[in-house]
Structure 1
Amino acid sequence: MKKTGIPLLFSMIIFMVSSNASAQNALDSILPVRGFCIAAPMPKGVDSLVTFINKELAPRKVNTLILRVDYNYQYTSHPELRDSIALSKTDAKKIVAACRANGIKVIPQVNLLGHQSWANKTANLLLKYPQFDETPHVKMPEKYVWPNADSLYCKSYCPLHPGVHKIVFALMDEICDAFETDAFHAGMDEVFYIADTRCPRCGGKDKAELFAGEVTRIHDHLAVSGKKLWIWGDRLIDGYTTGLGMWEASHNNTYPAIDMIPKDVVICDWHYERPDKTAVYFAMKGFNVVTCPWRNPSIALSQLNDMISFRNGSTPEMNSRFRGMVQTVWSGADGFLRGYYGGTENTPSGGNTPWDSFRVLYQEINKLQ
């Protein structure tokens, strides 16, 4: 019995592994990128995120984790830019190990150009290097409100300041090494301050050329070491012509930059209130694009169906550019996990939460196998 049982057991194992591999290959051909984007946790939350990776992301066949790190890391190249409580290299390696074990690619994000402040707080780069500020004449308010007289949403650094890239490139290199990745997400979304008339370097410059120049500079630095650049796509869309407005698209004339940046930049196309089909625009311009929902499950499903339709209904030259879906989370990791596991009441949102969207989206994605 033992001699016949062991080969039978091995055969069963081989069959199960082969079946899983076949399902994985089928899903990869339908939806190559199956992503999840969230803020990096605080150090005390690393183990919880690792558990979530193992028990929630992996079984759902998520294969890409965009981790919004920013200054939540103990940088050695520029320790002055660390948050007061920040992830250690050991913490990063825990996340890397969990992702590698589950076939998940980690893409760390540090917001570049825009998002150098939030509400009434200046982020670390401009706090430590105020000379990089594109709009030093705009003072941070004690209490933030929108709209405001300065049209302040988030501060930007000056892309033409001669000292800024030495520092941000060092952060990029270090965070990519820490997370052992060949891709980096630079943010680049919602840039409202650019080519300010009072900036001695940028004043009077073409905003699209400035934006494109910064994207290209970041791209080229990464390319030297074989890494890919990912960015959010809103600044590359004409907000007036499309009617998408100043948040999901550009009202400050950065959108012509789409014809000035390298075509191997990966575009993260986000729309949260309607399933606008701008992924087609990016693909027609020659870019690989992923669609990014947030907190509305029905919109996420519409976007998923669109993505599959785009892949199936396009020419061979186009269909491979429609890469897949990335569920986004715009809260801290701890808050998301509390909501996901039932610690946050869902009722006021009527089921429209990032964790609802994640569950519904990936339930549908896994039916594609």
Structure 2
Amino acid sequence: MRKLLSLLSLCLLLLLGPHSHAQSAKKYNPLDSLPIRGFCIGAPFVQGLDEFITFIHKDLAPRHINTLVLRIDYNYQYKSHPELSDSGALSKQDVAKLVRACKEEHIRIIPQVNLLGHQSWAGKVNNLLRVYPQFDETPWVKMPEHYVWPNADGLYCKSYCPLHPEVHKVVFDIIDEICDAFESTAFHAGMDEVFYIGEAKCPRCGGRDKAGLFAGEVSTLRNHLAEKQRQLWIWGDRLLDGKTTGMGMWEASMNNTYRAVDLIPKDVMICDWHYDRPDKTPVYFAMKGLHVITCPWRKPQVGIIQLEDMDRFRRDATPELKPMYEGMMQTIWSPAGAFLDEYYGRKTNPRDSVNTQSNCFKAVFK
């Protein structure tokens, strides 16, 4: 009997071929099941463009990244509004090099310009409100010489007024031009951490429902993009209830914009970021009928759990909900050059050698 079993095993091995054992032993990678495997970073400056393109070819593509979100803001030579462009910004020819590299690696490229919120940072007003101060939601709040948080004005970042009659003419020009330059089928509008919205002293927004204002701006941007078959992407924090969940004012909303989750169009892509805990909010967004991507930052263990969660959500979901769980996107919040210094080991973080952006990226996107 033993000889017969051994003979049968040998025959089976010969039939299956020499690679059968290696294939069965291959470790399951949850990334393989995700439609979107993304990477989000600030667009490189001109002097770092060539190295970043090499990074696309030699590092993003081998890690099976298929979506690249580039935070452009005003690091582009806008023809429609040259007054908004940063000094030394990327040219259309520079962008064409990025587009070509991504096409060669079958990577979808999506530009981002921060809209609504994040119109200032620390003590600096960003280009839109610097050039067009009439768009400011809170013109009475003056930028401090030395910024500290918290402060009496509740100033984190300024916002533009979504009801100003001239703001969307400028915003739409920027959206159309940057999407055309990147040949993109989607646009990321940011819209995270909006603290100033519907302020009582604003002559247009005062007294209005903040959730309605936020949803209205999402819908306005979405509808404009849809005219050219482009999809709107936004961060998801303003659609979460910060008080009920205990997530607070940064990763969720404490000014009642969270009710907008039931008011926005269902084809908006939600980029759900949580950096210190693997909160299970993708389930919430999916059950609201919204497509969602989970976004880690710098903690490898948190990112790994988020990846395992996203894989499990998809496997355990109903056929109706499974398509809502779109995937993962690593977020990078340092300039591209600084990240590459860390990624390639040219510089290290003396305070924490474990919880870094590059370590999280390498752990999640093996």
In the alignment, which of 86, 106, 109 is matched to residue 109 of structure 2?
Answer: 106
User: Which amino acid in the other structure matches residue 216 of structure 1?
Assistant: S
Runs ≥4 residues deviating over 2 A:
26-29
CA distance in 1, matches of 2:163, 2:233: 21
CA distance, structure 2, for counterparts of residue 342 and residue 59 of structure 1 = 19
Is 1:137 the counterpart of 2:151? The answer is: no
Task: Assess if the C-alpha contact under 8 Å between 2:31 and 2:365 holds in 1.
Answer: no
Residue 344 of structure 1 and its aligned partner are, at CA, apart by 1.4
Q: Aligned partners of 2:271 and 2:32: how far apart in 1? A: 19
Task: Give the aligned partner of residue 340 of structure 1.
Answer: 343
1:209 to 198, 209, 212: 212
CA distance in 1, matches of 2:32, 2:87: 43
Say if 2:281 is the partner of 1:278: yes
Q: Name 1:75's counterpart in structure 2.
A: 78
2:232 paired residue number: 229
Distance 1:158 1:359 in 2: 40
Q: Which amino acid aligns with 1:55?
A: K
Deviations 1:137-165 (A, max 9, x none): 00000111000000000000000000000
Instruction: Tell whether the 8 Å contact from 2:242 to 2:249 is kept in structure 1 after alignment.
Output: yes
Scaled by the length of structure 2, the TM-score of the pair is 0.91
Q: Identity, % of aligned pairs?
A: 64
Contact 2:31 2:307 in 1 (8 A): no
Q: Distance in 1 between matches of 2:337 and 2:31?
A: 30
Shift in CA distance, 100/28, structure 1 to aligned 2, threshold 3 Å: farther
Alignment partners' CA distance in 2, 1:330 and 1:310: 27
- Pairwise CA distance, 1:347: 4.4
Aligned mates of 2:346, 2:140 — CA distance in 1: 43
The residue that corresponds to 2:15 in the other structure is none
Alignment correspondent of 1:88:
91
| SS of residue in 1 equivalent to 2:211 | helix
Aligned equivalent of 2:6: none
CA distance in 1: counterparts of 2:158 and 2:349, whole angstroms = 33
Aligned twin of 2:130 = 127
Q: Deviation digits for residues 257-311 of structure 1, max 9, x if unmatched?
A: 0000000000000000000000000000001100000000000000000000000
For residues 114 and 48 of structure 1, the distance between their equivalents in structure 2, rounded to whole angstroms, comes to 31
Query: Which stretch of structure 1 is more off in the superposition, 40-49 or 231-240?
Result: 40-49
Task: Note the C-alpha offset of 1:313.
Answer: 0.5
User: Aligned partners of 1:93 and 1:67: how far apart in 2?
Assistant: 13
1:115 maps to what in 2? 118
Partner of 1:353: 356
The residue aligned with 1:194 is: 197
- 1:181 corresponds to: 184
Q: Residues of 2 paired with 1:109 and 1:143: CA distance?
A: 28
Map of 1:14 onto structure 2: none
Query: Tell me, what secondary structure is at the counterpart of 1:348?
Result: coil
**Could you report, residue by residue, the CA deviation over 1:307-331 in whole angstroms, capped at 9, with x for unpaired residues?**
0000000100001110100000001
Alignment of 1:222-261 (within 5 A): 222-261=225-264
Structure 2 residue runs without a partner (length 5+): 1-25
Measured in 1, the distance between the counterparts of 2:88 and 2:137 equals 27
Q: Is the 8 A contact 2:162 2:213 kept in 1?
A: yes
Alignment partner, residue 150 of structure 1: 153
Correspondence for 1:307: 310
- The aligned length equals 339
The residue correspondences of 1:18-33 to structure 2 (distance < 5 A) are 30-33=33-36
Report the more deviating stretch, 29-38 or 65-74. Answer: 29-38
Q: What letter is aligned with 1:155?
A: K
Q: Are 2:30 and 2:311, in contact at CA under 8 Å, matched by a contact in 1?
A: no
Q: CA deviation at 1:350?
A: 3.0
Counterpart-to-counterpart distance in 1, 2:103 and 2:281: 32
Relative to the length of structure 1, the TM-score reads: 0.91
Q: Distance in 2 between matches of 1:350 and 1:309?
A: 30
Structure 2 residue matching 1:356: 3-state secondary structure = helix
1:160 maps to 2:160: no
Kept in 1, the 8 Å contact 2:30–2:307? The answer is no
User: Is 1:317 matched with 2:320?
Assistant: yes
Secondary structure of 1:41's partner?
Answer: coil
Structure 2 residue identity aligned to 1:100: K
| 1:29, distance to aligned residue in structure 2 (A) | 6.4
* Unmatched 5+ stretches in structure 1: 1-22, 364-369
The 3 A distance-change label for structure 1 pair 346 and 64 is same
